[in-house]
Structure 1
Amino acid sequence: MKLSNFHFELPEELMAEYPAEHRDESRLMVLHRDTQKIEHKLFKDVINYFNEGDVMILNNTKVFPARMFGNKEKTGARIEVFLLRELNAENRLWDVLVDPARKIRIGNKLFFGEDDSLVAEVIDNTTSRGRTLRFLYDGPYDEFRKKLLELGETPLPKLIKRDVEASDEERYQTIFAKHEGAVAAPTAGLHFSKHLLKRLEIKGIDFAETTLHVGLGTFSPVEVEDLSKHKMDSEQIRIPETSADMINNAIETKKRICAVGTTVMRTVESCVSASQRLNSFEGWTNKFIFPPFEFSIANSMITNFHTPKSTLLMQAAAFGGYDFVMEAYQVAIKEKYKFHTYGDAMLII
């Protein structure tokens, strides 16, 4: 499989700028791998494809407001800072992306907030776009984190061209988000409403929670034609023992196990035992899934419609079958499905 195998023309008007009015009323395309049949539904119809004892695996990561705007000392130039990950809590060290990158050098100071209440110093140029910042804040750590939350805004992906609105704070977060640490939402989970979760629960579907703190690596462009040469950034994951037990029990009893999103699929496929069961785990993964790939845990998957040449599309194609998924994408374009973060969903069974 080569990068060029995943190119297709995506009309700009199909990129979703806003989510559906109600979470569970986005459109849902259902792909049946056995019959190669495609159905068109609403997301809340997903309940009809699952029965008592089936398991849905959720990613309970929570997005933090990672995008901040500051001003450079002396020149006052406006600089966007995207918080990627905390390196050292005690020393207030963070890995960040800065834009425009060419204006920032080691030793530069950046001021945040209307009253310049937070100051950071650039202490390292780690990559061409990345920097390490030390925030100069003397107060307690809790106060510092509160300050970051106050000054940060919801980190909508750059492909959404509009400004962040108040409603994004809620809608760019799954309703089961618990553990803060992601800089992007696990988008397949955004379609679940409280009402739909309750209906699934009443029907006897079980929910296994896992965590993958989504980093920007998930969205980094693939820049090599030979996919085996692409390296994913590492992201932090956790599979509690209770979730692993629930999923392994469903494997034993031949139930439907659904990975809700590419992040969940990468998490579980990173932790497969020699006997093709799921191990509990806490650590990091840089697993990159592209065709051909033998899946061990989930036998169904919910995912959004992804952009051309993205690692997310490659994973969907690995699971649904390359030809079938690429054909489904052409159907989606013809039927005007919405793509990307706030777009519509696909269920592959």
Structure 2
Amino acid sequence: MSSSLPDPRQLSIHDFTYQLPPERIAPEPLAQRDQSRLLLSRQGAIEDRTFHELPAVLPADSLLVFNDTKVVRARLFCHKPTGGQIELFCLEPVAPHRALEPAMQQTGSCVWKCLVGNGKRWKTGPVLLDFEALGEPATLTAERLEATAEGYSLIRFSWEPATLPFAEVLRGAGHLPLPPYLNRDDTAVDAVRYQTVYAAHEGAVAAPTAGLHFSEAVLAELAERGHQQARVTLHVGAGTFQPVKADRMDGHAMHGEPISVSRVVLEQLLHHAPHPIIAVGTTSLRTLESLYWLGVQAAQGLLPTDSTPHVSQWQPYEPGSDLPTAAALQALLHHLDTQQQDALHATTQLLIAPGYRFRLIQGLVTNFHQPESTLLLLVAALLGPDWRRVYDHALANGYRFLSYGDSSLLLP
């Protein structure tokens, strides 16, 4: 790290705040996805646009990288035999599979780490949920096994018919996990609008909300104007809403999330230089920048072959590597060749904060984020102190904030 840049470990989250009036938080999506407002910040100059104009205002020959994760219906409202309601929020699979895709195809029974609502009322015994799956009646039974150190619970689920995959159980029995600050139940509108139009791989418990503004028409115009598109997958975890409680960032543990990037996309990224790469959303950005650090590990012969590769929270801030970006991507492709794999699967805890040097991306499409959040730290890392001017402009000019709010294109 350059001595002229701040050490993110010493940063106080309280320096990254602003006053967000509750009425500025968008409670519902707009009638049309691409009619959201778009704040364009280009080299410090701010313009007010509409999202459908995005293809026209992007730098020429941009490559937009989208996160194609799909939100699962991860909230389950079960009932005790005596009638009391217990809410279970499925966070991540534990057994028999820890990887999401096989866990979603598991039949009969499984164990997940969950948040439990009304947990004090659930002393012993199973709780139940009757639902309909694939047009037939079904029943889910949940048993509490043990508490984890982080305050979650391990829950064993079993269901009838046992031939149903767990993905169908969640589709039939579950509710969409809307952000807690919306403070309302999910609706039929949310079932469509809290997913991107290009969502493909189930596993997220929160939407990659920057992508919610893209319509089929906007995607088509991107192609017409010569902009390329690529898809990566990061399954957004509940940790995305985790508040920073530590006084300094070195006391905050970033949540880990699984990522998946195909060989085809790695080659696309490698060959797109020197044209701009624009991340659609903070999750796409963290995935892209994580590729660089995985490539550093690969170039140093440190990428594991017998366990899941991982980017730690502080790897970029250690005395490390000035490896060129192209060399990092080539090292990953060589790793896939030697392992005879078509995609890279890893996990990332990457924290991007002021002091971070971006390696792959030249711009970001993103919504407006909560005060004192790691997402706001990421924006501050990209824009520098200018982030305040962007947020002041958005607040002064009626932009809608957070998940269902308006969008921005940030080109530092």
Q: Contact 1:219 / 1:311 at 8 angstroms: preserved in 2?
A: no
Give 1:58 shift.
0.4
1:286-297 pair list within 5 angstroms: 286-297=349-360
Distance apart, 1:345 and its partner CA: 0.7
**CA gap 1:240/1:290 in 2 versus in 1, 3 angstroms:** same
Q: Equivalents in 1 of 2:388, 2:285: separation in Å?
A: 19
SS of equivalent to 2:40:
strand
- Aligned positions of 1:183-332 closer than 5 A: 183-251=205-273, 254-272=274-292, 273=295, 274-277=323-326, 278=329, 279=332, 281-321=344-384, 323-332=385-394
1:32 paired with 2:13, answer no
Shift of 1:309: 0.7
Please say if 1:160 is aligned against 2:182. Answer: yes
Find the counterpart in structure 1 of residue 315 from structure 2: none
**Most deviating of 110-119 and 187-196:** 110-119
The CA deviation string for residues 234-260 of structure 1, in whole angstroms up to 9 with x for no partner, is 111011111111112112xx2111000
3-state SS in 2 of match to 1:298: coil
Residue 82, structure 1, aligned to residue 89, structure 2: yes
Query: 2:257 corresponds to which letter in structure 1?
Result: E
Most deviating of 241-250 and 278-287: 278-287
Whole-angstrom distance in 2 between the partners of 1:128 and 1:101: 15
Shift of 1:116: 8.3
Q: Which residue of 2 aligns with 1:342?
A: 404
Correspondence 1:35-184 to 2 at 5 A: 36-50=44-58, 53-74=61-82, 76-88=83-95, 89=103, 91-105=109-123, 107-113=124-130, 117-127=139-149, 129-137=151-159, 139-184=161-206
* Structure 1: distance between partners of 2:284 and 2:247: 26
CA 1:248–1:143 in structure 2 vs 1: closer, same or farther (change >3 Å)?
A: closer
Summarize deviations over 1:312-336 as a string: whole Å, max 9, x none: 1111111111x21122111111112
CA distance in 2, matches of 1:324, 1:144: 46
**Corresponding letter in the other structure for 1:303:** T
In 1, are the aligned partners of 2:254 and 2:349 still within 8 Å (CA)?
yes
Aligned residue type for 1:3: I
Q: Verify the 8 A CA contact 2:138 2:159 in the aligned structure 1.
A: no
Q: Which amino acid aligns with 1:142?
A: L
The alignment's C-alpha RMSD in Å is: 1.8
Deviations 1:277-302 (A, max 9, x none): 34462111111111121000010101
Are residues 52 and 346 of structure 1, via their aligned partners in 2, closer, same or farther at CA, if it must alter by over 3 Å?
closer
Aligned with 1:18: secondary structure?
A: coil
In structure 1, how many angstroms separate the alpha carbons of the residues matched to 2:217 and 2:367? 20
Q: How many angstroms does 1:144 deviate by?
A: 4.3
Q: Is the 1:51–1:203 contact (alpha carbons within 8 Å) kept by the matching residues of 2?
A: no
Could you tell me whether the CA contact under 8 Å between 2:196 and 2:211 is conserved in 1?
yes
- Distance in 2, matches of 1:189 and 1:144, equals 26
> Contact between 1:101 and 1:129, CA under 8 Å: does it hold in 2?
no
Is the CA contact 1:118–1:136 (under 8 Å) kept in the aligned structure 2?
Answer: yes
Contact kept in structure 2, 1:175 and 1:190, CA below 8 Å: yes
Deviation at 1:159, TM superposition (A): 0.8
Runs of 4+ in 1 over 4 A off after TM superposition: none
Deviations 1:120-170 (A, max 9, x none): 100111145411111123644535432221010111111112321111111
How far is the alpha carbon of 1:346 from its aligned partner? 1.0
Distance 1:199 1:186 in 2: 21
Q: Per-residue deviation at 1:49?
A: 2.4
Q: How many residues align?
A: 342
Relative to the length of structure 2, the TM-score reads 0.79
Larger displacement relative to structure 2 (61-70 or 48-57): 48-57
Unaligned runs of 5+ in 2: 1-10, 96-102, 132-136, 296-322, 334-343
TM-score scaled by length of structure 1 = 0.93
Q: Distance in 2 between matches of 1:136 and 1:247?
A: 43
Structure ranking higher in helix proportion: 2
CA distance in 2: counterparts of 1:343 and 1:141, whole angstroms: 40
Q: Is the 8 A contact 2:139 2:159 kept in 1?
A: no
SS at match of 1:209: strand
